[in-house]
Chain A
C-alpha cells in the first residue's frame, strides 16, 4: 500500500511540476521578485520603528501563527475509483494514509518554519524574546501542526456517535489555546501542551482505527476539493482541463435576462447569459479582473499609465472569455439544435461586447475619479471604445471561426 502511495505521489509531483513550470514563467517570477523585495523593504522599515511593550504585538503573533497552522492540508491523493477498487483492502489502507500524512508533513512544516523564521525579528524587537524562546515557539508550532495533521488522519475513519475529529472549531481552539499560552506565558509551556494534545490524538487513533471504516465518500470529496483548489490557482495562469466550476442560482440577478426575448435567434443568448451569470468560473474571472483593475487604476495615476493599464485589463478579460464559447460542446443539444452556427457566434459576440463594455465603463469611471484630468479621461475613453469594439467584433469571431474550422 505504501508503494501505491509512492507511485501516485510520483505521478502527482510530475503533474504539479508540469503546471509549476507554466506558472513561474519569466514574467511572473519578475513580478514576484519585485513584490517580495517591496514587502521585505516595508517590513524592515516597520521593524525599525517598533518599540517594546506594544499591546497588539502578541495578538499579531498569535493570529499569524494560528492562520499559518491551518496551511498545509492532508494530501491523500485518494481517487473516486478507490472506494470500489480498494474497498477490499480497507485495513491495508491505513499504511497508505500514514504514508500520505508523512508526505503532507513536508510542505506543511516547511511553511511553519518559514513563517516563524520571518516572525523572529519581530519577536525579538517587539517582545524582546531570546533565541531559545523563539526556537521553543517554533518547536511548539511544528508539534501543533503535527497534531492537526493527525486529527485529519483520524477523521478519515468513521466515529460513531461522536463529532468529527477535524472539525474546524477543534483545530482553531486547540491552536489558539496553545499559542496564547506560548506567547503570553512561555513557549516551553506551549511545547508541553502540544505534546500532550498530539499524544492524546495518537493514543486515541491507535485504539480506534482498527474497528472503524474509512469514510470513503468524505475523503474523496476532501481530496477533490483540495485538488480543485490547486487547479483553480493554476487556472489563473494557464488552462487546466480539470477545473469545473460550481453553479449558483443567483435568483436576484434574473432581471439581467429580461431583455432576451424567447425567439429562435436568441437561443444561444438565452444559454450564454444564464451560463455566465450562474457559473462561477467565468463570471468569477471577469469580476476578479475588473475589481483588481479598478483598484490598481485608483492608485496608479498619471497621464498614460492608467490608459495602458485599463487597455491591458480589458484585453485580459476579453482573451479569457474565449473558451466560454466551447463551454457547452459536450452537451449533445449544442450539436443537434437546428440553429445556424452564425447565430451562435453572433450571440457570443453580443455577450463579449456587453461584458467588456461594462468592465471598460467601470474602469473608465475610476480613471476619471482618480485623475480628474480631461485629457486622460478622453484618451482612455477613445482607447477603450476602440479596444472593446476590436476585441468583441473582430478578434473574437476570427479566433473562434478558426477554432471551429480546426475541429471540423
Chain B
C-alpha cells in the first residue's frame, strides 16, 4: 500500500472543501482522480503533497506521515503541477541540478537519466535557457523531467494532458508505464476521460468534496449498470444524479 488517504477533512480555510475522503494508491498502480472543476481534486493533491494540513484524518505514504518525518515523506514524492511555475533565475540545467541536490541524487547517474528524458521531450538543446523563454508546454515538460529524475515512489500529476502536444502526451504515458513496472505508483487528476479510461488501473470519482465511487472500470460498470459502458457515461450519470 503506497499511499493511503483516510477520512481526510480539509481545505484552504476553516470551511472544509473535502468532506471525509478515503482512498488508496497501491504499488505499481496508476489511479485516476476524476471530478468536475471545484470537486476537490487539486485540494486533495495539495493535501497529499503537504501544502495543506488536513483538519481531520491522516495521509500515510509507505507507513510515514508528513508529521512523523516530513523529509522521509517528501523524499518519496514527485509532483507535476497543472500550472508550471519555475525559478525565474535558474536555467533548465540549473533546475535539474538543483533537483538532484534537493533529492540527494547521485549526480552522474542522474545526469544520464536527465539526458535521456531531455531527448525524449526535445529539450536537450535548451539547457541554458531561462524559464521566461519557454512556452507553457515547454515549462510543463521541464517539470516532468525534474519529476521523473527523482526516482520517487509516488508521482502526483495534476492534469497532464492539457497544454502538452500529442507527442509529449504519448511520451509521458510511456514514462508512466515504465515507472509503474519498477513498482512506483501514480496519482493523476484529469478531465480527459477517454485517455484516463485507457491507461488508469483504477479510478476515484470525486464529487462535491466526497468520493462518490472508486474502483476499476469493470467495478464501476457493475456498480452503475444502467449508466453505460465508458468512463465518460458513468461519470456523466453520476453528476446527473446530483443535479436532479
List the interface of chain A (C-beta within 8 A of B): 247, 249, 262-264, 266-267, 270-271, 274-275, 277-279, 328, 330-333, 335-340
Contacts and interface: CB of A to CB of B under 8 A. Distances in A.
Pairs of residues from A and B, 4 with the lowest C-beta to C-beta distance, nearest first: A338-B74, A337-B102, A338-B75, A264-B104
A330 B103 contact: no
Interface of B: 49-51, 70-75, 77, 79, 81, 85-90, 94, 97-104, 107, 130, 132, 146
Given A262-B107, A335-B50, A247 B79 contact: no
A332 B99 CA distance: 12
Contacts of A335: 49-51
A156 B100 CA distance: 48
Contacts of B99: 333
B101 A332 contact: no
Contacts of B79: 332, 336
A405 to B, nearest CB: 14
A320 to B, nearest CB: 18
30 contacts: A247-B89, A249-B130, A262-B97, A263-B101, A264-B101, A264-B104, A270-B98, A270-B101, A271-B87, A271-B89, A271-B98, A274-B89, A275-B89, A277-B89, A278-B89, A279-B89, A330-B85, A331-B85, A332-B81, A335-B50, A335-B51, A336-B49, A336-B74, A336-B79, A337-B74, A338-B71, A338-B72, A338-B73, A338-B75, A338-B102
B42 to A, nearest CB: 12
A262 B100 contact: yes
B94 A274 contact: yes
Nearest to A269: B101
B101 A247 contact: no
Contacts of B146: 333
Contact of B77 (A271, A328, A336): A336
A264 B101 CA distance: 5
A25 B99 CA distance: 45
Nearest to A248: B89
Contacts of B49: 332, 335-336
A355 to B, nearest CB: 16
A243 to B, nearest CB: 14
Given A271-B87, A279-B88, A331-B87, A337 B107 contact: no
A264 B74 CA distance: 14
A248 B129 CA distance: 12
A9 B207 CA distance: 44
Nearest to B80: A332
B30 to A, nearest CB: 20
Contacts of A275: 87, 89-90
Given A335-B49, A335-B51, 14 more contacts: A247-B132, A249-B130, A264-B104, A271-B89, A275-B89, A277-B89, A331-B85, A332-B85, A333-B98, A333-B102, A338-B70, A338-B72, A338-B75, A340-B71
A332 B139 CA distance: 13
B12 to A, nearest CB: 13
A332 B88 CA distance: 13
Nearest to A261: B101
Nearest to A264: B104
Nearest to A279: B89
A316 B71 CA distance: 35
Contacts of B77: 336
Contacts of A271: 87, 89-90, 98
Contact of A266 (B87, B90, B101, B130): B101
Contacts of A270: 94, 97-98, 101
A279 B146 CA distance: 23
Contacts of A337: 74, 102-103
Given A262-B107, A338-B103, A340-B71, A333 B97 contact: no
A57 B114 CA distance: 66
A267 B95 CA distance: 11
Contact of A336 (B50, B89, B98, B130): B50
A267 B87 contact: no
Given A278-B89, A328-B87, A267 B71 contact: no
Contacts of A266: 101
Given A335-B51, A338-B74, A264 B102 contact: yes
B236 to A, nearest CB: 31
Contacts of B74: 336-338
Nearest to B88: A247
B10 to A, nearest CB: 15
Nearest to A272: B89
A343 B101 CA distance: 12
Contacts of A277: 89
Nearest to A250: B89
